[in-house]
Structure 1
Amino acid sequence: ENILRRLKVDVRGALVQLPSEPKPEIGFENETTLVYHDEWGIKWAKPPSSLYMDPVGAPLKGELTAERLANHPWPDPDQEGRYIGLREEVERLRNTGCAVMFSLYGLGILDMALMIHGIEDTLMDMGANPAAIEDLFGRITEFQMRVWTNTLEVLGDKVDVCLHSDDLGSQATSMMSPDMYRRLLKPRHAELFAHIKKSAKTDVKLLLHSCGSVRSLIPDLIETGIDALNPIQVGAA
């Protein structure tokens, strides 16, 4: 808090909690690489040379069928452990006199799909198997909508900004064409963002975080209902 005030930062951020159940499976591979599987079934690993846990195993990698999607053990958005202490934490942040920004612990719709189905498979299937991708995007969207419903019910009028993170750009261009974004992802973004604003107790602002070059998508992003975009990555094309 002292550092934030020294730097004149006037926003404080909070996250929804990880679920208390089920407990993640944590262990070691090759005696030195820390690994665990999260509630989505995604495998994460941290070798000694790394500073971070990185996703290394996609549970639905390979052929994406309706049967695999239906049988996958999807996480429970109503798990009570996610929401323990949120109200108290946000009230503490509100008492600083700063604006309060809140986000889910996980990533956005596309980001989660990339980790669940694999980067290459997801990007290929957006063109080759769009029906399965729409199903996958829909399941992720439904989960996030439910978590936002529960979160905003707990937070009441204590939040000013809702942050959604979905990395839609590379260094050179967007991860998909504007036309593909309009067909597959834009409807889900619009649905989610409208739900967040409807569920909020106050006139919250919707901030979208996306790394990379999203210049070609900005007109469509505005139409989804966002109020601000972060960052404006001038080093990207």
Structure 2
Amino acid sequence: MYQLIYGSLKLNGEKMLTSRMRVSMALNHEETDRPPADLGSTCNTSITKIAYRNLRIHLGYPPENKPKFLSEEMQVVEVEDSILERLHIDTVGVHANPPDVDRPDRFSEDRFIDEWGIKYKAARSNGEVLYYDIEESPLAAVSTLKELEGYRWPDPEAPGRTRGLRERAAGLRESTDRALVGHMGDTSIFQACTMIRGMEQFLTDLLINKKIAHALLERVLEI
């Protein structure tokens, strides 16, 4: 019934299993020819800048000098289509854009503030940025709900975030048989709270200042 041809599954000698079909079947707990492969559809399933450069060189491609970052603080980059094709990746990400009016301020190559107000400092090795550590959590000193509510939060509906996403998704659906993965950014509510409040302070809040902890969790959830 099944015949493997160049990594794809031929059903009943006729129908080839495309990447989109493979992912859909796996999500429905159906047997596939192989497990679906993902690289780069989200921040958590992508690759860092240095590793990506080394991968390109290993595969015979020139190094990418200015990759597009999915997460600058973690130095995670978007994977180009040629690499996805070469590695038989079954997914492709549809990534949200940064807002038109953004908060980030870059003081230097070593320091910047993201739209949440979190301050980062570069961690380097041999002069090259590996990632950015959190240097200051903006809500670490907040002690009242009023202070929390008065903070300048990111606007999830800020102009620009979703501009062109519909067209991009439609174009990818027509031009590739990969499964499309929508990626609107980091969705870890707990992690976001620890970054905004500071890990130690937020864990303390969960024990002895639950009103602050719950209000922060609710606010991040809404965003």
Q: Percent identity?
A: 34
Match of 1:120 in 2: 200
Distance 1:110 1:61, change over 3 A: same
Match of 2:90 in 1: 10
From 212, 220, 223, the counterpart of 1:132: 212
Q: Report deviation, 1:2.
A: 2.6
The answer to whether the Cα contact below 8 Å between 2:94 and 2:169 also exists between their aligned partners in 1 is yes
Match of 1:64 in 2: 143
Output the amino acid matched with 2:166: R
Q: Report deviation, 1:114.
A: 0.7
Max Rg structure: 2
Match of 1:42 in 2: 118
Q: Report deviation, 1:126.
A: 0.9
TM-score for the superposition, normalised by structure 2: 0.57
Q: 1:198-217 CA deviation, whole Å, 9 max, x = no partner?
A: xxxxxxxxxxxxxxxxxxxx
From 21, 24, 45, the counterpart of 2:104: 24
The answer to whether the Cα contact below 8 Å between 2:92 and 2:180 also exists between their aligned partners in 1 is yes
Note if 1:94 corresponds to 2:173: yes
Distance in 2, Cα, partners of 1:69 & 1:57 = 16
Which structure features the higher share of helix residues? Answer: 1
Q: Report deviation, 1:6.
A: 2.6
Output the amino acid matched with 2:132: M
Which structure features the higher share of strand residues? Answer: 2
Note if 1:81 corresponds to 2:183: no
Q: How many corresponding residue pairs?
A: 139
Q: 1:118-156 CA deviation, whole Å, 9 max, x = no partner?
A: 01111111111112111001011111xxxxxxxxxxxxx
Q: Report deviation, 1:85.
A: 2.1
**Structure 2, gaps ≥5 residues long:** 1-80
From 116, 127, 132, the counterpart of 1:53: 132
SS of residue in 1 equivalent to 2:181? strand
The answer to whether the Cα contact below 8 Å between 2:137 and 2:196 also exists between their aligned partners in 1 is yes
Output the amino acid matched with 2:119: K
From 183, 192, 201, the counterpart of 1:103: 183
Output the amino acid matched with 1:38: D
The answer to whether the Cα contact below 8 Å between 1:10 and 1:98 also exists between their aligned partners in 2 is yes
Q: Report deviation, 1:23.
A: 4.5
The answer to whether the Cα contact below 8 Å between 2:99 and 2:158 also exists between their aligned partners in 1 is yes
Output the amino acid matched with 1:92: G
Match of 2:72 in 1: none
The answer to whether the Cα contact below 8 Å between 1:60 and 1:116 also exists between their aligned partners in 2 is yes
The answer to whether the Cα contact below 8 Å between 1:42 and 1:57 also exists between their aligned partners in 2 is yes
